[in-house]
Amino acid sequence: MQGVDHIEGVTFHGRKGAVQNAFRYSVDYVLLDAEAPVQGPRFFARNARGLAGLDDVDHGGAPHAGRGAAWVRDVLEAHQVSGVTRIELLAQPKLLGHVFNPVSFWLCRGAGETLIAVISEVSNTFGDRHSYLCHHADLRPIEASDRLMAQKIFHVSPFQPVEGAYEFRFDISATRIGVWINYSQSEGGLVATLTGARVPLTNRAILRMLWRRPFGSRRVLTLIHWQALKLWMKKAAYRARPTPPQEELSQGWSGKDGVPGE
């Protein structure tokens, strides 16, 4: 059995361009082996009811119809990503039966536990989801300094256009988590980060989540709408939700390779 790790982290978002806006919030993530039986604390449940937990139905595919790591395996096979021996899921946990993840990450590891591919699973507040698969063309390990790119094709914020590209950077160690996303488009973009120490999840930590950040992802949704109100008040351009892309996943590329789709 595998344990569950807790990242009591900090997320930062800073808008680029003429209309400035930035915020920093505390946030809880958990990290676990998505294909192994879980040995977690009593208050944590895997595909079952608990104070906190992670359910496959919430990840890997369409919202509320996820297939978990089985979906990831199908994606890897379809895109000829071989050599993945273990799949981890980094996501905000479900708390008191409610969950919303603006972005979760499937970490795909190969020989020697090296990180060789990442699927960034992005969900918006309209109930849509799209994922971005990134890796090096030769499937060499993803280092902390590597930049992985993906063309933005999915509507997330009504105050950003569906254009431009994401630049992802991942630093996943045994003791810390670092994810950096630099989104660039013709009028600016934004920078988003997630950083925090990685420690074993405990019942005490779960109770701390509920005390310090009550209602879990309901709090996240409230904060998202609060920031949207601030942007509206600053007269940032508002864009109506377009039709979501038909495909549930698109493939990125390595910043060093410089070739989309490889």
pLDDT on residue 19: 93
Give the angle 203-205-210 at the CA atoms, nearest 5°: 100
pLDDT band at 257 (very low <50, low <70, confident <90, very high): low
45 pLDDT higher than 80: yes
Q: What is the SS3 string spanning 72-106?
A: HHHHHHHCCCCCCCEEEEEECCEECCECCCCEEEE
pLDDT on residue 258: 55
Percent of the chain with pLDDT over 70: 96
Distance CA 8, CA 28 (A): 5
pLDDT on residue 256: 65
Q: Which whole number is the average pLDDT over 138-151?
A: 97
Q: In what order do the strands lie in the sheet with 94-95?
A: 44-46, 52-54, 94-95
56 pLDDT higher than 90: yes
Checking 120-124 for CB contacts under 8 A at 24+ apart, the result is 120/150, 120/166, 120/168, 120/181, 121/59, 121/60, 122/154, 122/156, 123/63, 124/154, 124/155, 124/156, 124/157
For 214-246, write each residue's pLDDT tens digit.
777 677 788 888 898 889 999 999 999 999 999
pLDDT on residue 262: 39
> Rounded to two decimals, what is the model's pTM?
0.94
